[in-house]
Amino acid sequence: MGGVLKVSLALTLTNLISMNAKEETLTTNVWITQEWVDYRLNFTKEEYNKVLRVPADLVWLPDIVLENNIDGNFKEAYSANVLISPGGSLSWLPPAIFRSFCPMEVTYFPFDWQ
């Protein structure tokens, strides 16, 4: 109660939608894997057949911010269910589309490194 909560976060790039060198923007399709434990949601395998799937708006979710976001939109593409395992382990893997600032130096293209 009132302590520190450890949230594991992984970002999987599934698609590079666009890159605009003139505007220095990058649009990507990603999966955001978030995992944490909420002991208030503890249950046994026998109670709910191993894993519960609940709508994301029914549980607490971590607040995640994309620091170099262009349009202020850091929301998932659609509302994915949260998986709750025995012991209160939660996993949430929503897909998202992000537009971010991506500075590029293309003076020596195609022989440059980014």
pLDDT tens, 49-94?
788 999 999 999 988 877 777 876 666 666 799 999 999 999 999 9
| Token output for 18 | 């666009």
CB distance 74 to 64 below 8 Å: yes
pTM above 0.95, yes or no: no
Residues 65 and 16 sit within 8 Å (Cβ to Cβ): no
- How many domains does one find in the chain? 1
Domain that holds residue 45: 7-93
Question: What's the CATH code of the domain at 24?
Answer: 2.70.170.10
pLDDT tens-digit series, residues 16-46: 999 998 899 999 999 999 999 999 998 888 7
In this prediction, residue 77 carries a pLDDT of 61
If 0-12 CB within 10 Å is exposed, 13-18 middle and 19+ buried, where does residue 112 land?
exposed
